[in-house]
């Protein structure tokens, strides 16, 4: 609610409706995991302010039931570029279906176009009490373009290809966390670490850029 939280004087140049919310009560009670980031891309070897462009990424969890989807995460890129150019819009993205026995409790974009997902086993499944931290390289996933038609078709996310998340995927790293987890997920690209919180009120710090088999216990527990 930017007009209420920030200022009623905000001028919006481009809008991208993401998903419908059934009621105002659902809107006020819903805390949707989301993350926005910009990544610089070098154009040439000259060191000046105009030698790079930027690509923006928006990653968020779609509330269950919205768009007739359950347990889905969406990743969109080039939203700002599609707003600022008069050429054919380059807006693209994909939908990622989380395994039904897990729920995505939080997420964050990371350096080099990566997405970190925090998955927790549902209490009704055999994976209750077990969690995963998944780091995906988005460049290895299939982005598909979709339109920005307004106002006839607001929710164009349904045009995107739906991909199934496999916990043994070759698209990134998967870390097993032997504790139920809670929000928030904190990620530092400069330090290359992620901090998560267990239900036992412990903080777990993981080195993201190292493989799990190099150090079987990457996490350090702190009171």
Task: Enumerate the domain spans of the chain.
Answer: 31-40+53-179
Q: Is the peptide bond before 157 cis (omega within 30 degrees of 0)?
A: no
Phi, psi dihedrals of residue 156, rounded to the nearest 5°: -85, 5
Q: Token match 């930017």: residue?
A: 2
Q: In sequence order, what DSSP letters do the residues of the chain get, joined into one string?
A: -HHHHT-TT---S--------S-HHHHHH----EEEEEEEEE-SS--STTSEEEEEEEEEEEPTTGGG-SSEEEEEE-HHHHHH-SSS---EEEEEEPPTTEEEEEEEEETTTEEEEEEEE-TTSTTTT-EEEEEEEGGGS--EE-----SS---GGGGSPEEE--TT-SSEEEEEESS-EEEEEEEETTTTEEEEEETTS-EEEEETTS-GGGSS---EEE-
Global pTM? Answer: 0.78
User: In the prediction, which pLDDT does 113 show?
Assistant: 81
Phi, psi dihedrals of residue 65, rounded to the nearest 5°: 95, -25
Residues of the chain with pLDDT under 70: 1-3, 13-14, 22-30, 42-52, 81-89, 125, 127-128, 148-155, 169-170, 211-223
User: In the prediction, which pLDDT does 218 show?
Assistant: 44
- The pLDDT tens digits of the residues spanning 35-77 come to 998 887 765 545 555 556 788 899 999 988 888 889 999 999 9
């Amino acid at each position: 609610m930017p007009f209420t939280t920030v200022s009623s004087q905000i001028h919006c140049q481009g809008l991208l409706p993401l998903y419908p919310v059934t009621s105002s009560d659902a809107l006020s009670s819903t805390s949707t995991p989301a993350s926005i980031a910009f990544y610089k891309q070098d154009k040439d070897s000259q060191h000046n302010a105009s030698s790079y462009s930027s690509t923006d990424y928006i990653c968020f969890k779609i509330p269950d039931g919205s768009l007739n989807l359950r347990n889905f995460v969406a990743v969109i890129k080039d939203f700002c570029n599609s707003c600022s150019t008069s050429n054919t819009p380059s807006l693209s993205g994909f939908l990622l279906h989380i395994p039904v026995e897990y729920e995505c409790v939080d997420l964050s974009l990371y350096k080099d176009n990566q997405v970190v997902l925090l998955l927790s086993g549902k209490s009704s499944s055999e994976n209750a009490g077990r969690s995963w931290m998944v780091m995906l390289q988005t460049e290895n996933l299939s982005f598909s373009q979709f339109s920005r038609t307004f106002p006839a078709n607001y929710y164009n996310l349904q045009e995107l290809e739906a991909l199934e998340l496999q916990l043994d995927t070759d698209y990134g790293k998967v870390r097993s966390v032997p504790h139920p987890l809670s929000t928030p997920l904190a990620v530092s690209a400069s330090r290359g670490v992620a901090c998560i919180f267990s239900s036992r009120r412990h903080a777990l710090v993981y080195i993201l850029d190292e493989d799990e088999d190099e150090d079987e216990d990457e996490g350090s527990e702190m009171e």
